[in-house]
Structure 1
Amino acid sequence: MRRADPLITVLKINKEAEEQAALQLKSAQLELQKTESQLDALNNYRLEYMKQMGENQGKVLSASQYHSFHEFIKQVDQALVQQVNTVKEAQKQTHHRQVHWQEKQQKRKAVELLLEKNAQKALQIANKREQKDSDEFAMQQYIRKKRR
């Protein structure tokens, strides 16, 4: 009985690592989409609020209303800055996960290539052995016929 090729175990480990990296990449991509959606929502909220204030431009606003408006916009702008930073961090994380997944994929492909080369080498050896056996059989047949 032939013992199992250790490269098959290495391939299995590399496939599992690649699958794990793919899951982490997918998770990072989903997180990036979520943060981008939140940023879009904040931008839209600010735009709508500014639009409402523009519609009220002809109306007289008290100093406290005007001050409240500016304070609120300032808070929304701060939230936007924080969200932009969150999006940038999510982009970095996604890029990192993409690179990590590609590295795992390359390792798996390298092991598969090595296994394929080993299989081709084994096939060549088997073919040579078969040819040798066939040549030897033919030679024995020839010798037997000569002796008769």
Structure 2
Amino acid sequence: MAKHNPMHTLIDLTQNQANEAARQLQNLNASRDDAQAQLSTLYVYRQDYVERLEKATASGISAANYHNFRQFIATLDEAISQQNKIVAQLDQKLEQGKQRWFDHKRQLTSYETLLSRQEQERIQRDNRKEQIMTDELSSNQFRRHHNTH
């Protein structure tokens, strides 16, 4: 039975961490897309109200209604500002998530490379041992054959 190499445990753990980082990255990306969609909706909504205000102003509007329109547009501007901050925060988290995923993948590659090197070294050691045993066997057979003659 082959001995368990601790590198396999490290590789498994790191692979799990990379998978989890990828899932988190996917969730962050979806959240960022949703936030961007909400921001776009707010921009469209604001543009619609600006156009309504322009039409109402052209056809005549009371001061109170004009004030209400302006107040509502200001509220939309504030919502847009807040949504821009949310998108920026999600962009930052997304970059951090990408870096975390990349770090785990790089670590995983390092462990796999190290395991591969260990395996190559083990094969070389086994081949050398086998060669030594074969050489000894041949030498012993040669001596026996020459000693009997």
Q: TM-score, normalised by structure 2?
A: 0.92
Question: Any conservation in 1 of the 2:53–2:66 contact (CA below 8 Å)?
Answer: no
Instruction: Judge which range, 2-11 or 23-32, deviates more.
Output: 2-11
Structure 1 stretches of at least 4 aligned residues deviating more than 4 Å after TM superposition: none
Question: Which segments of 5 or more consecutive residues in structure 1 lack a partner in the other structure?
Answer: none
Which residue matches 1:31?
A: 31
Aligned positions of 1:1-148 closer than 5 A: 1-147=1-147, 148=149
TM-superposition CA deviations, 1:20-58 (whole Å, max 9, x none):
111111111111111111101101111122123333342
| Paired positions, count | 148
Say which SS state the counterpart of residue 3 (structure 1) adopts: coil
CA RMSD of aligned residues (A): 1.3
TM-superposition CA deviations, 1:78-127 (whole Å, max 9, x none):
00000000000111111111111111111111111111110000011011
Shift of 1:131: 1.4
Q: Aligned partner of 1:63: which letter?
A: A
Taking only the aligned residue pairs, the percentage that are identical comes to: 26
Question: Which segments of 5 or more consecutive residues in structure 2 lack a partner in the other structure?
Answer: none
Q: Aligned partner of 2:99: which letter?
A: V
Q: Distance in 2 between matches of 1:143 and 1:61?
A: 118
Q: TM-score, normalised by structure 1?
A: 0.93
Q: Distance in 2 between matches of 1:131 and 1:3?
A: 23
